[in-house]
Structure 1
Amino acid sequence: MTTDRLQRFRDRLALPLIAAPMFLVSGVELMVAACGSGVIGSFPTANCRSTGQLDEWFAEIETRLRRHEDQAGRKAAPLCPNLIVHRSNARLEQDLAVLLRHKPEIVITSVGSPAAVLKPLHDAGALVLADVASIRHAERAAEAGADGLVLLTAGAGGQTGWLNPFAFVRAVRAFYDGIIVLAGGISDGRALHAAEVLGCDLGYMGTKFIATHESMADDRYKRMLVDSSADDILLTTAFTGLQTSMLKPSIIAAGLDPDDLPARGAIDIAGDIDVAAREKRPKRWRDIWSGGHSTSGVTDVLGVEDLVARTAAEYRKGSALRPQHG
């Protein structure tokens, strides 16, 4: 496992963990709490209504983290924006310009090759991690020069991959010596330690951060995660056109049958003639919520600091385990 690229901020991490970037969930409060607690805080730039608001978010987070560092006497973990690099992102160039001004230490790219943004981000001093859902995507991102790969495996929330994490990590590690981040099913500190043993440098934790006081998620969403288990996660293409992990109870609450969903990508895409009727339709992410297989590990709604402390204790216990033979 290669860790030298992370060496510059390893002493600022309470855990080798990224609070995963989640659409309409990861905001200023969650970033400040995660980074201040020693976890890399990541948020989609698309969570900001405009490039101007993205600039404002950066300024506020940076100011509050400096204040936290002064009080705590230690540097916070890095802030890590998540940039969609697909041509469908009309704000790509403008958002990239904001990132280059604020010089984040890490950037995660999504939905496509990071090739077009690698040089400017590298020139600004950022490590670039590309999320990938297949071996071929991993090979292409590695060839482009990504510093790290986020492996979207079976069990991750939102739009996800289908590969088994054991097989995916080992296949990628066979040809790639950069940073590997495992996304999918990390529900506690022991699982995080297992990801390291498997060959990863960092893990993603998303679902459990949804159910924190600081997340932007609806309180009903947080409670639904507490009340649900992995059996309540449905992998479907109905809402985005891509394989997406969604909470069955939210689908039912929206008046839909999880066992009889419309065709691929049909929900919330075809327009209604009646504007008022269209507005009342259930919308993905806003009314129909996502979760990963780690939903089974969500037992209560916590503050981020408490979640990180609990995860760190589990991680230490997992690290102390030794294989038993005989």
Structure 2
Amino acid sequence: MSMPALFKGRLSIPVIGSPLFIISVPDLVIAQCKAGVVGSFPALNARPPELLDEWLARITEELAAYDRAHPERPSAPFAVNQIVHKSNNRLDHDMQLCAKYKVPMIISSLGAREELNQAVHGWGGIVFHDVINQKFAHKAIEKGADGLILVAAGAGGHAGTISPLAFVAETRKWFDGPIALSGAIGNGKAIRAARILGADFAYIGSAFIATKEANAVERYKEMIAGSSADDIVYSNLFTGVHGNYLKPSILAAGMDPDNLPTSDPSKMNFGTDASGERAKPKAWKEIWGSGQGIGSIDKVVPAAELIARFKKEYDEAIDPPL
């Protein structure tokens, strides 16, 4: 396993908070970083595009102030997620702002681009690329990514179908760099299990939806806290890419979650209109994404409290005797 120097001495537990569309905002990112996990957000969450400058300034300044006040326990680094798909007409603009603030870590999705990786390396940052299979994993490393995010079965949002046990084992046959594992990780024991499998980090998203700082409506937060793996539906209808969604939200939208049609992947669109709004916002505003690990979440709490619980469970997790 390989822990980049960027993270050493700055994490309370080996966790990256995944970038959640709409939900991940500066309040959540800052709370995560102060509590010792990597906080992240999609650049596209800042709408209109000019808002990204304000967000990056605030995150950078608040974390720097925290570090000055707590030199013995500095904050974790933060990350920005960039959608590299050709439909993202904001990518160049958003990358220029990331360069301006020397964002420590970029998480790239839906496309591996060598020039993006080179740009990030140029300002001293690192790039993790999220993948759902070995083909995309090899391509990401060939294009210069520093680390991989293995989006395994059970992950929230755009998820793969490969077992996390198989995914990590097969990747470790050829890649000795940093790996983050995503897929149904909702407690400290699961974080420990990810490490035992050979991952450096657990990549957690859905659990953070049910936090005070998350930019989600209360009904969404309560649905996360009151649902389980049986309430998750896997479909590509809503964005053109297969992902996991909460069955109750699909029912509330008047659809049958057991008989959803399929979507044409070529129609997916991550662009924005003239006002800066996403071209297809309803997919994530009305149909709510979630991974299968939410059975471990039973109430809405501040992010720091959730992370403290993760740490306690992680520290206590041991292999039971035979």
What secondary structure sits across from 2:181 in the alignment?
strand
- From the superposition, tell whether residues 106 and 252 of structure 1 become closer, same or farther in structure 2 (CA, over 3 Å): same
1:170-226 deviation line (CA, Å, top 9, x unaligned) = 111101111100011111111111111111011111011000000001110000111
Greater shift in the superposed pair: 206-215 or 66-75:
66-75
Q: Match of 2:64? A: 66
Shift of 1:87: 1.3
Q: For the Cα contact (< 8 Å) 1:254–1:282, is it kept in 2?
A: no
**What is the match of residue 273 of structure 1?**
none
Residue 242 to residue 150, structure 1, CA distance change in 2 (3 Å): same
Counterpart CA distance in 2 for 1:282 and 1:183 is 24
Q: Are 2:144 and 1:145 equivalent residues in the alignment?
A: yes
Work out whether residues 118 and 144 of structure 2, in 8 Å CA contact, stay in contact via their aligned partners in 1.
Answer: no
Contact 1:282 1:288 in 2 (8 A): no
The match for 1:85 is 84
Relative to structure 1, is the Cα distance of residues 232 and 51 closer, same or farther in structure 2, using a 3 angstrom cutoff? same
Q: Distance in 1 between matches of 2:222 and 2:74?
A: 33
Unaligned runs of at least 5 residues, structure 2 = 269-279
Secondary structure, aligned partner of 1:23? coil
Q: What letter is aligned with 2:239?
A: T
User: Identity percentage over the alignment?
Assistant: 41
The equivalent residue for 1:136 is: 135
Letter in 2 for 1:296: G
Distance in 2 separating the partners of 1:47 and 1:282:
11
TM-score under structure 2 normalisation? 0.92
Residue of structure 2 equivalent to 1:287: 286
SS of 2:41's equivalent in the other structure is: strand
Aligned Cα RMSD in Å? Answer: 1.8
Task: Please state if 1:166 is matched with 2:152.
Answer: no
Give the deviation of 1:52 after TM superposition: 1.5
SS of alignment partner, residue 125 of structure 1: coil
Report the equivalent of 2:199: 200
Provide the residue aligned with 1:324 in structure 2. Answer: 321
Task: Give the letter for the 1:91 counterpart.
Answer: R
Matches of 1:55 and 1:180, distance apart in 2: 29
Instruction: Give the corresponding residue for 1:34.
Output: 32
Cα deviation digits, residues 39-68 of structure 1 (max 9, x gap): 100110010113321111000112222233
Q: Is the contact between residue 234 and residue 247 of structure 1 (CA under 8 Å) also seen in structure 2?
A: yes
Q: Which amino acid aligns with 2:229?
A: A
Question: How far has the Cα of 1:146 moved from its partner?
Answer: 1.1
TM-fit CA distance, 1:323: 5.2
Change (3 A) 1:256 1:122: same
Query: Which residue identity is paired with 1:324?
Result: P
> Per the alignment, in what secondary structure is the counterpart of residue 252 of structure 1?
helix
Q: 1:263 to 1:138 in 2, by over 3 A?
A: closer
Amino acid across the alignment from 1:13: L
Give structure 1 stretches of 5+ with no counterpart: 270-280
- SS at structure 2 position matched to 1:299: coil
State the match for 1:124 in structure 2.
123
CA contact (8 A) 1:40 1:79 kept: yes
The 3-state SS of whatever aligns with 1:82 is strand
